[in-house]
Structures are given as C-alpha cells and as structure tokens.
Amino acid sequence: MTWINFLLAGLAAIAAGLVNALAGGGTLITFPTLTALGIPALAANVTNTVALCPGYIGGIMAQWKDLKDQGKRLWLVAPAGVIGGLIGGYLLLNTGEKLFRALVPFLILLASALLAIQDPVRAWLVRRASQKKSTPNQQWAVSIPIGLAAIYGGYFGAGLSVIVLSVLGLTMDDTLTRLNALKQAVSFSANFAAAIFFLFSGKVLWPVALVMAVGALIGGNLGGRLAGRVKPATLRWMVVTIGVIVSIIYFVRG
C-alpha cells in the first residue's frame, strides 16, 4: 500500500460516512475501492466492517432519545443481532477467498436492490403505522427474522438496515422514528459483533482500517452538517447506480 492507496481509501471512507449519514449504502463505495486497490475481497470486506463500525455509534447517539425507553424491545433484538452477526462473521471467514469473490457481484446487486426500495419501504411503514394490527403482543417473534437478517449483516452488511426496518414494521406497532432508532441498535449490534469476531481473524489490514475509520467519522460529521441541503433520494440513487455498475464489472471480470 502506497500513500496514494491510503489517500484513496480515506477519501472513499469519507464518502461512505457522508452517504451513510444521509442515505445509506456506504459499503457500496468503500468495498469496491478496497478491491480496486488490490486487496483480496475477503480481507477487504473484513477490513471494511471493522473500519466503518464506529459510524454506527454516531447513529445510536443521534437517535438515543427515541431508543432509551425501548429497553424491553432491545432485549429482544440486540441479542439476536449479536448472535446473527457472529454467525455471519464466522460464515464469512470460512467461505474462502475464491467462493466469496464469486458471490461478491450477487451481494452487491442485492445490496443495491435493497437500497433502491428503501423509500417505498419507508412509505409503506408510514401507512402501516396508522393502522391497527390484530396481534400487537407477539413481538417476541421478531428475534428470529432479526437474527437471520443479522447473519447477512455480519457476512456483508450493505442494505441490512432496509431488511431490519421491514421486519420491525411487520412485528411492532410504533412510529417510524422509533422503529428507525431500534433499527440503528440492531445494525450496530450485528456489525459490532462481527467486527469483534474479525479482530482475531488476522484478516484486518489495520493501517487501512484506521485511516478509513477516521475518514468515516469525518464523512459522518459532514453528512450531519449537510442534512437538509442534499436530497437523500438523489444521493441514494447515485449509490444504487454505482452499485449496479460495480456488480456488472465484477460479473464481467469473474
């Protein structure tokens, strides 16, 4: 890695932090950048997860007021997120470089599709919040689908928030704001658990991860300052377009 490589990784992390703060999908920027710099796909994914993990803490703090009184729900979803994240991390490390690289274009395409439907999902949740559900007390059932979603989050991560928000909207009666705060907690628990698991894998490229962590924090701060000035939908479709193009490139390259 040359200083130019580190600079490019840092700039990609700044862009990812900004995108995550405004629209989501930052992994679709950082992961392809790392592989383009010559880092093997598996190591790139592991390093990316560790590097971007601090950004989830910012999301938790930003919505703490909507999360702090949901203690019972947290006891349902956070452990499921942790267990799922650990399983996803374990599966990733045991996939092997060749198989994971073959899966990469499909994972990026899936993440792009999830990002593309984020606005319709939010609109559906808003409509659903105004309706009464027949079984509001069966929230315990959320642990299973949340755990399955967290496995995906620990394995790759991009687009996890859309899956989690949909599951929460199906199983819980509440406002979109409070469900979104709970989603932040699930995403954090899954990614943090996977990141902790990766710390002992020997796959983390620490110099790159540290540079990216700083970049992600800077980008997240910029995103917070730009909130209201940039249309999230426009930014989101830009990221979706990038993701589709990158997936096509991976398909062609094999």
Q: Tell me: the pLDDT tens digits for 148-169?
A: 999 998 998 777 888 888 888 8
Percent of the chain whose predicted confidence (pLDDT) is above 90: 29
Mean pLDDT value across residues 118-129? 76
Range of the domain at 90: 3-253
228: left (phi over 0), alpha (psi -120 to 50) or beta: left
Check if the beta carbon of residue 133 is closer than 8 Å to that of residue 174: no
69's tokens: 């009184």
Percent of the chain whose predicted confidence (pLDDT) is above 70: 92
Estimate to the nearest angstrom the gap between the alpha carbon of 219 and the chain centroid. Answer: 15
The dihedral formed by the CA atoms of 149, 247, 240 and 198, expressed in degrees to the nearest 10: 40
- pLDDT at position 138: 56
pTM: 0.82
Indicate if the pLDDT at residue 135 is higher than 60. no
Angstrom distance (rounded) from CA 249 to CA 66: 41
Indicate if the pLDDT at residue 81 is higher than 90. yes
- Backbone Cα Rg of the chain: 17
Check if the beta carbon of residue 139 is closer than 8 Å to that of residue 76: yes
Q: In total, how many domains does the chain have? A: 1
Beta-carbon contacts of residue 28 (< 8 Å; ≥ 6 apart): 108, 111, 112, 115, 158, 239, 242, 243, 246
Check if the beta carbon of residue 139 is closer than 8 Å to that of residue 74: no
Q: Tell me: the pLDDT tens digits for 199-246?
A: 888 889 999 999 999 998 888 778 767 766 767 777 778 888 888 888
Q: Is the dihedral of CA 63, 155, 238, 118 positive or negative?
A: negative
